[in-house]
Chains A and B, each alone.
Chain A
Amino acid sequence: MNLFTQAVISGLMIGAVYAFLGIGLVLVYRTARILNLAHGETFAITGVAAALLAKAGLPLPAALGLAMLIALAFALSLHRFVLRPRAEWPAGNLILITLGAAFVVRGVLVLAAGTDPVSFPALFTGMPLRIAGGVIPPQGIALVVLGFGASAAVGFYLARTRSGKQLLAAAENPYAAELVGVNVERARLTAYGIGAILGGLAGVLLIPLIAVDFQSGLAMTMRGFIAAAICGMSPVGVLFSGVGLGLFESMVGAYLGALYQDPVMFFLLILVALWQSRHIRFGGTRRA
């Protein structure tokens, strides 16, 4: 077995998870100007619900579909019934509300599934692919392809399509956007909806390779946040920061050891934050 090849494969899989979670966070941030700390809960809800439904005897595709719908309903409800009525509140308060929502989800999941981790079978099965001394399972290939594919598609949608640009306009100046006919509310619901589907999809593809429990959500939010912050909340940049972070994390783990992963990663995050804030420090107007 070749350690370098395996580290690259592992890095791509980790990177796909960063990209999946990061793009959803960026989307909501760029349209509603809220850092949604409950974003990773869509991953946990999908995973736990799918595991319980599959265990109850539902066919796997139906269980996965239904679980993603539950996650979608959670995200849309969070916006429609919790955040939207408080739209005039300071952003900091709204962020704290999303954190509270994440803890509510934790409580519900622990009541539904207990404290033990759960999982469900892979959607893509078959013999793992062996390349240059490394191994990747079919589910891992799907995770990499769909993770980066979905991130690229969302980036393209925001940057190049009319409705994507409307989403961005709704965030930059909601009043002006409304004046020119943009339905701001629909744009925000769309953002939360796409974010939830991507979070759920990350769960569907990753959880068969690991396991999920009631507290997995915030860890996933953190991963998404790191990817999103490093690229300055750019919908296109998150794809590259995801790949970069995944490979970097995997290589540090393989050649320096896992004990160095966190210090190195957060040092990198600080360096990038300093680099991005250079305009602010020197009186510019560019925002991260």
Chain B
Amino acid sequence: MKRSLIFAALFTTPCAYAQADKPIFIGEVAPLTGPAATVGTRLNKASKMWADEVNAKGGINGRKIELVTCNDEGRPDKAAACLRDFQEKGAVMIFGNSLTASLRAMQPLVKNGPLLLIPSPNVVPPADSYAFQVSPSDFHLTEAIAKYMKDDGVNKIGMVAATDASGEVGVESAKKVFNDQKIELRLARIDLRATDASTQLASVAGQDIKLVYSSYTGAGAVTVVKSFKILGLPQPLMVSYGNMSEAFVSLIKDVAPARLLGTSVAALVPDEMPKGAERDRARAFFHAYAKRYNEKPDMINLLGKAETDVAEAVLRKLPNPSDYPAVKKFLESTPVESFHTQKFSPTNHVGLDASSVMIVELKDGDWIKARPISSK
């Protein structure tokens, strides 16, 4: 007995020290170039900021964060290759900071771990997987739109959706939610390379339509807003969560329709959140992000922050974050504090729901809580 204790003292202690010195390896798959680069770079900014802040404070339990980013260019095949590479190198967890098609390619590869955190609303992970979504789903965002309409007695909506995988998810959610809520949906699809959206808008924005929704992100969303303005449509135009950024606002500020609305997590407007720890966290993130990058954070940055909050909770609370079943059990049973508390369960791997969503409106260059549709 004594001998085994001596052995343990001689050999395991240095090993434990070696483990303590070893950085925590986290893999990030993000499109830093390619069509989705605007999403990837925003999420990457939030994760880099988090890793630097943690490391500046000495790391977690004495271990520094080693964040390695693999550029998947928005290509599913490359995303899968990035993920396999991270698995081989022993990543403790993966930040799935890419778009729908890439996330769908990565998801089946983490059947046995490691933890895959997903900030995109478009991919709902199955509850028997190691993937966890840290944002409200697209379905939740659409539910929030339906509630906003119903509150004002509006029961018809025109929608323009892209022809890619993200657009497909948006159309699926819209058909289900609006049908359940007895809201008439008038739908037009638009090609990602379109240089004009006037035909699509003309087909969905009749006089009986009180709200037009464009579930489109990036340069295409700008095309929709500009065409909307050219047609002189009087309805409010609602844009997707991916457009709640300063870059988007600066592009459309001279051509914005009379009322531009958007879907977002409520933390985008911290002043509208109830007093308390969640609001304080949102404000602290706004302050730190603006100080570091000299710009206001947007909805995508906020989802990146939600992702790092979940990652940090796992790393701080669990002695061995590479014990994937224990990580899964922990997340399914423990609410994670963030600007909106993430609540996963053994049957649900989506941390937020429609209650965390706010319909916002652009006013004087800032996003505020939206007034009712009927307001002038």
Give A residues with C-beta under 8 Å from B.
Answer: 1-3, 6-7, 9-10, 13-14, 17, 106, 110, 114-119, 121, 128, 134-137, 140, 206, 208-216, 219, 223, 250, 253-254, 257-259, 261-262
Q: How many A-B residue pairs have CB under 8 A?
A: 111
**A134 / chain B contacts, CB cutoff of 8 Å:** 202
Give the contacting residue for A259; candidates B189, B199, B200, B206; CB below 8 A.
B189
**A7 / chain B contacts, CB cutoff of 8 Å:** 199, 202
Count of interface residues, chain B, beta-carbon cutoff 8 Å: 38
Give B residues with C-beta under 8 Å from A.
Answer: 32-35, 37-38, 40-41, 163, 188-191, 193-196, 198-200, 202-203, 205-206, 218-219, 222-223, 226-227, 230-232, 245, 247-248, 251, 254
Q: Is the CB of B230 within 8 A of A140?
A: yes
Please give the distance in Å from A253's CB to the nearest CB on chain B: 6
A-B contact pairs, 16 of them (CB 8 A): A6-B199, A9-B198, A14-B195, A114-B41, A117-B222, A135-B231, A135-B232, A137-B230, A209-B230, A216-B219, A253-B200, A254-B203, A257-B189, A259-B163, A261-B163, A262-B191
Q: Is the CB of B219 within 8 A of A261?
A: no
User: Which residue of chain A has the shortest Cβ distance to B202 in the bound complex?
Assistant: A6
**B251 / chain A contacts, CB cutoff of 8 Å:** 117-119, 211
CA distance A10 to B218 in the complex (A): 21
Please give the distance in Å from B43's CB to the nearest CB on chain A: 12
Please give the distance in Å from A63's CB to the nearest CB on chain B: 15
User: Which residue of chain B has the shortest Cβ distance to A212 in the bound complex?
Assistant: B219
**A10 / chain B contacts, CB cutoff of 8 Å:** 196, 198-199
Q: Is the CB of A6 within 8 A of B198?
A: yes
Given contacts A209-B196, A262-B191, 17 further A-B contacts (CB under 8 A): A3-B199, A13-B196, A14-B195, A110-B33, A114-B41, A118-B251, A121-B254, A128-B230, A128-B232, A135-B232, A136-B230, A206-B195, A209-B195, A209-B223, A209-B230, A250-B199, A254-B202
Give the contacting residue for A1; candidates B193, B194, B202, B223; CB below 8 A.
B202
**A219 / chain B contacts, CB cutoff of 8 Å:** 193
User: Which residue of chain A has the shortest Cβ distance to B35 in the bound complex?
Assistant: A215
Assess A17 versus B195: contact at CB under 8 Å? Given A3-B202, A118-B251.
yes
User: Which residue of chain B has the shortest Cβ distance to A140 in the bound complex?
Assistant: B230
